[in-house]
Every structure is written in structure tokens, then in C-alpha cells.
Structure 1
Amino acid sequence: MVGGIAFIAVIQHNLDSVSPGLVGLAISYSLSVTNLLCGGVNFFTETEKQMVSIERTQHYIDNIPAENIEGSLIVSPVWPTAGIICFKNVFMRYREGLQDALHDVTFQTHPGEKIGIVGRTGSGKSSLFLVLFRIVEIQKGSIILDNTNLKHIDLKDIRSRLAIIPQDPFLFSGTVRENLDPTSSHIDSDLYNVLERCHLKAPVDRLGGLEADVGERGRNFSVGQRQLVCLARALLTRARVLCIDEATASIDFETDQLIQETIKQEFHDSTVLTIAHRIDTILNSDRVLVMSEGSVAEFDQPNILLQKTESLFFKLVHK
């Protein structure tokens, strides 16, 4: 457009002796019109993108079933106290038409027991945590925690009383304080206490203290530090059940040892379920749960399973 107007202006100037000032004004206006046209095109493009977002949101509202948040039982403020987990004939599949992700799973833990969970990819290890937190509902069976069936308890109570360190620890955009204590239930001394116990006080102080900004998904923290933040959250809630989903899969040996030592010291009286990425991290567990094709294949002390050369655990250790 600008080139065309400039070309016409030159011809007019040669034919009619148009003032150079008018030529410059015409080119200046053509530049403004070009910017307006570009802005208009960008506006319509962005509008189309936003309409797609609205369409997808509406799809989720109309077609994705909402979680049944409310339960029929009101649990004690200190529940769970012992951390006894009991799976009874649990069946679960992710949706109709798929095979069972969990098939007739039955086991029970003791108070304060440390359980290592192992198995090949797709054996159902992570599915145990999904049904424990009721992220996916079971089709048959029951999950009992301290003599209380989880299906009768509010989701809020379940997910606030149990603690988890996921494989990819998630931190929210906000402050360190908001990530540690989203409900603002604790005073500063409590927060600094758990930071100290989780070896995070020095890194947090370097960032600026409890009011320091946490980048999106915790980008200004290392992977190991993000996992330690999850540990600090669990300490604040005094969780009697801690679930660790391959939390040491992507960190260095030194940080791994630090996390293991912190768990050993701070959660010695809690039930700890650990999905192992490296077998050596769960060799000191009280018992090992071996999953295979969605079922419990073996459940015993690691030294006993290692004595059985035909056991799946023996084969996993020596593969």
C-alpha cells in the first residue's frame, strides 16, 4: 500500500507539480492505515482463538462429569491417626471399554510402615495413588483408611489429610508462603521451622524470604528443591500418610540422599508409600509391594523376597 501511494504521488508530482509536503503527508497517512489494518487482522485472529477456548471450556462443562466432592461422613480433625491403609478387592479402569488398571488389589499396611512399590511400566503403581486420593473412582472393592471407607469422606478432607510428592512436583505462581501454606493456617515461625527441617531455609532466604516470588511451576527452584517444598507442606499438615511417586527419578545423588534422610527423620511414625524409580531406594523398606498387570504379585519384606530366586522382586533387582 505504501509503495503504491508513493508511486502515485511521484506521478502526480511530475504531472501536476504536487507539493512534496503533500506527498510526504500522503505516505505518512498510508503508514497509519497499514498499522490499523494489521491491528484489525490481529484482533480478529485473537478473537477466533478466544472463541476456541470458550468452546473447549463449554465442552468440559457439558461433557466432563464433576467430582462428587461431598461425603456422608464427618471425620475427626485429627484423622487419620494411625495411617493404616487397607485395599480390599479393588478394581479400577480409567474408562469404559479399557482393561482394568487395577485388578482385585488387596493388601494392608501397619501403622508407620514404610512400603516400597515396584513393578514394570504399566503395572499399576501410580494407579494405587490415584484411587487413594480418589482422583479416579474405583469400580469395585473398598479402600479403608483407619477403619473409615474413603468413598464416604469429603474429597477435601482426603486430599488435605494425605500428603504426596508427585513425580513432577508442582509449585504455584505466588510467594513462598502461599506455596507452603495456601490456607494461611500457620504463623511465620512454623513455616521457618519446616523450611529448616527440610534444608530449605538458606535457599529461601537467598530468594528473599517467605514473601519471595515463586516462578511459574517453580522455575526458580531446582527439581530437588521443589520436592523438598512438597515435603515441607507435608510436615506442616503433620500428615500420617505420605505418598512418593518416583520423586527421585530426575535428581542428583546428593539431593536424593538428602530427601531420603529427611523422610526417614521427619516421617518415622507416618505410613510412607514409595513408588521406586531406582530399586536401591526402597531396599530398606519394611515391606515391598510388587505390582504386575494391575494386581499384587508379591508383598513381603525385601530380604525375604530376595531369597526367592523365582520372585519378581529378585528379577527386578538383578535384571
Structure 2
Amino acid sequence: MTPRQTRPRRTFICGWACTQRWALHKRFYVATSRQLKRLESVSRSPIYSHFSETVTGSSVIRAYGRHSAFVVMSDIKVDENQKSYYPGIVSNRWLGVRIEFIGNCMVLFAALFAVTGKENLNPGLVGLSVSYALQVTMSLNWMVRMTSELESNIVAVERVKEYSETKTEAPWEVEDKKPSPEWPAEGNVEFHDYSVRYREGLDLVLKNLSLSVKGGEKIGIVGRTGAGKSSMTLCLFRLLEAAAGEITIDGVKISELGLHDLRSRLTIIPQEPVLFSGTLKMNLDPFEKYSDEELWSALQQSHLHKFVSNQPAKLELECSEGGENLSVGQRQLVCLARALLRKTRILILDEATAAVDLETDDLIQSTIRTQFEDCTVFTIAHRLNTILDYTRVLVLDKGQIAEFDTPANLLSQKGIFYGMAKDAGLTQ
């Protein structure tokens, strides 16, 4: 084989070896950088969340002198993030050094083959081969980095894909299962061996609940923290779907109804009052279903008439975001007025008076007793004295029914409810 034939063969073998080495580095680097990017993205979110929480609660942090503790927490989260961010930078440099080394090797061999050749070569051909070899370093680097960037950034698409595959809520409306316009006419609520969990794989928060509530009954729900009180009310709105059993309202299985048809026939006064930026009228009647006379009547019954009538804008009073320009008690009374306007047959109070003073609590309770006299009321009780005149009291313990009877009978039995009443100073 002549020297002229040997040189291309040697050049090809050298290029092939460098290419294989480049491919090997690419395989290691892309897989590593992708996983490091995934870890860095996961550990970055807590930093932003903690910073946002710190800014929001800065006044409380200053009041309790917890500056150093929050700084330490922030440092810990940043350090955790750097555990994956710094190796990503190191791997980048690792790749850069080796890719440049491979490219320089190709330049070196191209120059050596040109110099050691036994016959004269065209200077232009030598210059062309060396100049192209010089560009290999940049091209290899660019190819690997673009491949790595693509696979690293696809991590964000993986998250979007995960959200897109998340199980959605039930249909908003089911045409062949729409209830009658008068439903629920009586307000009878029944739980049949009902169990629920917050998501697959978790323990049951309610276990085999079976109870029957007649229309117009006032039911107080009590229990220790974590007993399942709020979970029970969430099930009525199907914010949690049943793991087993069924809930029926006036004989209709709520699992067969559309969510809009179900939730529009129930009313809840939440523990934390929810108001939106806009006028008071919009907060009371967002869908403009009621007249001004009905709105004023609701304000009168919720003891807000005097406050609103003294405002220059009256019903057009601007509410700031979250109702910050109103007191907590006034916000809770606005929610009560909203419930009075809807006046459904089933009312749920999720510790609605937990954050208000005793006077506002008395106002809300007196209004509920008079205006919702013929409605079925479920009350998660924060103050036991508010439910002592209720029809029955449901005591939950670890997601199960521990006691369910009239307040007088439960006090005479000296069980869990009696112990809670004794702790509250309502009995000797």
C-alpha cells in the first residue's frame, strides 16, 4: 500500500476513534446533566416558597424575633439546591475539557499526518484540513450542549405531562341525571357505610360512616383534631370522592350528579371568610340573581345593614383583595348574608365562628336559628355552647362515629362529649 493510500486510512482511523470517544462522553454527560437538572428543579421550588412565606409573614417574624431561624432555614434550602446545581456546573466543565482535548487531538493528528507525509502535499489542502480540524472542537461542543439542553429542558415538559395526566374532577353537569329544580325539598341526608381517603395509597380519613339525618335537624359535629370533621363536609360537596359507600340527599345519590348541580344546592359558611376584589354587591351576588331589596334584606338579617348604610357608596362599597378593608367579623357576616340569599335546604358551617368574637358569634348563631329553622344544618363546632341546643351531636374519633345522640343524652352518658364539655367548663 502506497504512502498516499495509507494517509487517508490513518486519518479515517484517527477520526473514527475520536468520534467514538466523543460519543462515549456524550452518553455519560447527557444522562448525568438531565438527572442533575431534574434534582435542581425539584430543590429550587422550596427556596421560592420559603422566600414568599417569609416576605408575607415578615411582621410576625420580627415580632417573635425569629430572624436567625428563618435565615438558617433559607440557607439550608439553598445548600440543598447547590448540592445538585454545583455538580451540574462541574459536569459542564468536565465535558468542556474533554471535548476540547478530543478536538485538539484531531488537530494534532491532522498536522502530524500532513508533516510526516513522504510526498509533497498541496499547501492549500493542508491548510483546509487543519482549519476544519480546528472547527471540530466548537462543533462537537455545540452538538453535545444542544443535546443536553434539549433533554434538560424537557424536564419541564415532563411536569406539564404529569399534570395533564392527573385525574380530573367529575363532569360539571350530567344531562340524564339532572335533579329536579326543587331538589333537595326536604334535606334528608344519609351516609351508607361511607369511607374516604385524600388520595390513593393514603389511609382512610373516614371509615364506614353510617348515619341518617332528617330534614330540618341541626347536627353538631365535634371531635379532636384529625377526627375527620372537615373531611365529612368536604364529602358532601364531593371535593373528596368516596373510597366506599354512598351519600344520598333526599334519596338521590350525589355521586351520580354533576358537580354544579350538587354544589349549587348546598351552602357553606367557611371557617375563613372568602371575599374577592370588587364591590360588596358583587361579593354578595356575583351572578346578579337577586334584586337590591333582597340584598338589603339579607344585610339586615346578617346585622350588616347599619354598617353598609353608613358607607357613602352603600352596596357599591369597594372590597380590597381578600376583604382586607373589613374586619374578620364583618367578612364572616358578609358570608352569612351570602348564605341567606341562597337559602338552600342544607347549610354547612365549617367552624364559621372560630375566628370571631363572642358577640359576633351570638349574632351568627341567632340568625341561623331563626332564618334556617326549617333547613338541615351541619355545624363543625369550635365552641361547644353553640350546639348544646342542637337536635343531635355527632362525635367523631379517628374517622369513625364514637357517639351520636342528643346533647342531653351524651352529657348523661359521660363519654367523649362529656369530657370535652367538662374541659370547656360547661359542666361539672
So what's the TM-score if we normalise by structure 2?
A: 0.60
Identical positions, percent: 47
Using a 3 Å threshold, how does the CA distance of structure 1 residues 59 and 265 change in structure 2: closer, same or farther? farther
Matched, 1:70 2:159: no
- The aligned residue for residue 375 of structure 2 is 270
Compare relative contact order (CA 8 Å, sep 6+) and give the higher one, 1 or 2.
1
Over 3 Å counting, the alpha-carbon distance change for 1:141 and 1:305 in structure 2 is same
State the SS of the aligned residue for 1:318: helix
One-letter amino acid of the counterpart of residue 167, structure 1: Q
- Residue of structure 1 in register with 2:293 after alignment: 189
* Equivalent position amino acid for 1:225 in 2: Q
* SS state at 2:293 partner: helix
* Shift of residue 64, structure 1, vs aligned partner: 3.4
Aligned residues: 267
Counterparts of 2:235 and 2:323, CA distance in 1: 27
Cα displacement (A) at 1:65: 2.3
What secondary structure, in the 3-state scheme, does the structure 2 residue paired with 1:307 have? helix
Work out whether residues 194 and 207 of structure 2, in 8 Å CA contact, stay in contact via their aligned partners in 1: yes
Q: 1:189 to 1:58 in 2, by over 3 A?
A: farther
Q: Give the letter aligned to residue 307 of structure 2.
A: P
What is the aligned partner in structure 2 of residue 212 from structure 1? 317
| Richer in helix (by share) | 2
> 213-222 vs 292-301, which deviates more?
213-222
2:260 equivalent among 128, 137, 156: 156
Deviation (angstroms), 1:223: 1.6
In terms of Rg, which structure is larger?
2
Aligned pair partner of 2:205 in 84, 101, 106: 101
2-structure distance, mates of 1:67, 1:131: 13
Distance 2:379 2:386 in 1: 9
Other-structure match for 2:33: none
- Compute the displacement of 1:163 (Å): 0.5
1:123 aligns with 2:224: no
User: Residues 180-225 of structure 1, C-alpha deviation per residue, up to 9 Å, x if partnerless?
Assistant: 1111111111111111111112222334212111111111222222
Letter in structure 2 aligned against 1:163? T
Q: Which amino acid aligns with 1:105?
A: L
Aligned to 1:142, the other structure's residue is in SS state strand
Q: Which amino acid letter does the alignment assign opposite residue 378 of structure 2?
A: L
- Displacement over 3 Å in runs of 4+: 54-61
Which stretch has the larger CA shift, 232-241 or 288-297? 232-241
Where does residue 225 of structure 1 map in the other structure? 330
2:173 and 2:261 in contact (8 A); partners too: no
Map of 1:295 onto structure 2:
400
Report 1:241-280 matches (<5 A): 241-280=346-385
Unmatched segments (≥5 aa) in structure 2: 1-47, 49-152, 424-428
Amino acid at match of 1:77: P
Offset at residue 306 of structure 1 (A):
0.5
- Given the two structures, how large is their TM-score scaled by the length of structure 1? 0.80
The one-letter code sitting in structure 1 at the alignment partner of 2:412 is Q
| 1:99/1:188 CA distance change after superposition, 3 Å | same
> Compared with structure 1, are the counterparts of its residues 59 and 264 closer, same or farther at alpha carbon in structure 2 (3 Å cutoff)?
farther
Structure 1 pair 56/135, CA: closer, same or farther in 2 (3 Å)? farther
